[in-house]
Amino acid sequence: MVRMLDIAILGLLMDRDHHGYEIRTQVRDRLGVSANISFGSIYPALNRLERRGFVEAVIATEARGNALSTGSLSGERASLRALRATPGLGRRSRKVYRITPRGREEFVTLLADPATLDDSRSFSLRMALAKYLTPSLRVVLLERRRIDLVERLTEMQSSARNEQLDTYARSVMAHAVKGVELDLEWIDNLLSTERSNQQSFAPEAK
Amino acid sequence: MVRMLDIAILGLLMDRDHHGYEIRTQVRDRLGVSANISFGSIYPALNRLERRGFVEAVIATEARGNALSTGSLSGERASLRALRATPGLGRRSRKVYRITPRGREEFVTLLADPATLDDSRSFSLRMALAKYLTPSLRVVLLERRRIDLVERLTEMQSSARNEQLDTYARSVMAHAVKGVELDLEWIDNLLSTERSNQQSFAPEAK
DNA sequence: AACCATCATATCAAATCGATATATCGAACG
DNA sequence: CGTTCGATATATCGATTTGATATGATGGTT
């Protein structure tokens, strides 16, 4: 969860530039994250990434009548101020972010990072961006996730068998079990696709 | 999500007393929450609930030989002092919490609260504790959740049809769609059970 | 022209997480 | 017999995330 947002933002910027508000919708529509990320997360995260040099703000293209007066937006870390304190800047200017070369490096590192891939959300996020991974790394991630899920499945199955639970609690557990089973089917499909693709490149490998 | 932990803790204490560490495991095993709640959440939450008078700490039963003599443990922080400065309490004492009458009131209020039942986790949590709700409130919650899910389903189906997505992103979306469909089946089963139970109490109602 | 939904950025307090520190206890191992 | 290991147990810290709220622009509708 820690770096979920960093991965999501950088992953979206790998493709093309985005502004904050747009990232929020894209995380839902392209990365499959069910809950909307709050603005209180996204703007601080963008500032964080900018400070670290992984993204940079470029003033919105598609300029409308603005007259921005003096080119005073070269202010270093006063990137916010440049926009806010400028009196002549009307409209709702969009702050468009672009990923830097260092950001691209950071992204692939984070994406393949062995740490914290346990929860369902961060795994789905990684898979949604899996085209940026090498085939072998994809398989590693999938297999590790598979192991976690199998373990969790047996745990939950025994919980679901607990006879001290009332009807509702047991129903919740049984439903959760089905969810994990669905996840496992998905993983297995992805794994077999991955392996058949590998074969097509090295069919003679015994 | 905001009060998820409060609901979870109070819900567990409705049944019997618990200490912090135990609550963590029970949230997984009895309430079906897949991720382990961190200690950094649970102990502050218990203090919070204690301050508000919804729970009270009772010294661990099952007392063992202690004798600790003088309270030389140099309590520094306030919250520690309560227990540690108490002389006579030795070992790794477990701080067992009990729910108060006001806590029971608060619990049913939170559980039936119309706010923030949108996300999957908080809904599952509520259902796991649904035996404390009236049948009609259960139906209200279920129906509202159903509406949300149907809406989300159509959104995600159109996302999954987006041809600009690569194979992996589309696979994630398709999998997410299946998850929501599974949720919907579950809700519908619960709803029909709920309604057939209602009928048995009022079979003549046309 | 008034209204409202959507777009867009931003900030704040409170909640939560992940890591870490500390300590007890029982079991396993040699 | 010692010691190491894993599970039990409480607590705190900094960083991250949420949910709420403020503010304003833009565009469509009646």
Gap from A184 CA to chain B (nearest CA, Å): 11
Tally of domains in chain B: 2
B54 and B16 housed in the same domain:
yes
State which amino acid sits at residue A1: M
A48 located within any domain: yes
A71 and A143 housed in the same domain:
no
B168 located within any domain: yes
Q: Hey, are the CB atoms on A124 and B32 less than 8 Å from each other?
A: no
The two tokens of residue B89 are 């309490």
pLDDT for B179: 95
Each residue's pLDDT tens digit, B129-158: 999 999 999 999 999 999 989 989 999 999
Residue numbers of the domain that contains B24: 4-112
Q: What are phi and psi of A129, to 5 degrees?
A: -110, 15
Contact residues, chain B, for A156 at CB < 8 Å: 32
Q: Hey, are the CB atoms on A128 and B169 less than 8 Å from each other?
A: yes
Strand A18-19 versus strand A95-99 pairing type: antiparallel
Cα–Cα distance between B169 and B200 in angstroms, integer?
A: 47
B160 located within any domain: yes
Beta strands in chain B (DSSP E): 18-19, 55-59, 95-99
Strand D contacts in B 112-141 (CB under 7 A): 115-116, 119
According to DSSP, the residues that pair with B96 across neighbouring strands are: B19, B58
A99 and A17 housed in the same domain:
yes
Please answer whether residues B188 and B146 qualify as being in contact, where contact means their C-beta atoms are separated by less than 8 angstroms.
yes
B47 located within any domain: yes
Cα–Cα distance between B173 and A31 in angstroms, integer?
A: 8
Cα–Cα distance between B194 and B206 in angstroms, integer?
A: 17
The two tokens of residue A113 are 């990072």
**Of B55, B77, B112, the domain-final residue:** B112
B156 and B186 housed in the same domain:
yes
Gap from A101 CA to chain B (nearest CA, Å): 23
Contact residues, chain B, for A166 at CB < 8 Å: 131
- Residue A185: closest C-alpha in chain B: B175
Residue whose pair of structure tokens reads 């059970």 in the numeric block: B193
Cα–Cα distance between A10 and A3 in angstroms, integer?
A: 11
**Residue A81 is part of a domain; what is its CATH number?**
1.10.10.10
A95 and A8 housed in the same domain:
yes
User: pLDDT grade, residue A200 (50/70/90)?
Assistant: low
* Residue B64 CB lies within 7 Å of the nucleic strand C: yes
Q: Which residues fall within 8 angstroms of residue A204, CB to CB, at 6 or more apart?
A: none
Residue whose pair of structure tokens reads 């919650």 in the numeric block: B141
A166 CB within 8 Å of a chain B CB: yes
A182 located within any domain: yes
For residue B173, pLDDT beyond 90: yes
Instruction: Give the lowest-confidence range in A202-206, B108-112, B124-128, B135-139.
Output: A202-206
Nucleotides of D under 7 A from a protein CB: 8-14, 16-22, 24-26
* Residue A48 CB lies within 7 Å of the nucleic strand D: yes
Q: How many CA atoms lie within 13 A of A155 on its CB side?
A: 17
Ramachandran quadrant class, B142 (left: phi over 0; alpha: psi -120 to 50; beta: rest) = alpha
Q: Which residues fall within 8 angstroms of residue B206, CB to CB, at 6 or more apart?
A: none
The two tokens of residue A175 are 């439903």
Please answer whether residues A52 and A42 qualify as being in contact, where contact means their C-beta atoms are separated by less than 8 angstroms.
no
Give CA separation, A153 vs A46, A177, B184, B187, in Å: 37, 6, 21, 21
pLDDT for A202: 62
User: pLDDT grade, residue B87 (50/70/90)?
Assistant: very low
Each residue's pLDDT tens digit, A46-88: 999 999 999 999 875 444 433 333 333 333 333 333 333 333 2
Average pLDDT, chain B: 81
Gap from A14 CA to chain B (nearest CA, Å): 14
Protein residue with the closest CA to the C1' atom of nucleotide C11: A40
Cα–Cα distance between B121 and B127 in angstroms, integer?
A: 10
Enumerate residues 12 to 71 of chain A having a beta carbon within 8 A of any beta carbon in chain B: 28-32, 34-35
A83 and A22 housed in the same domain:
yes
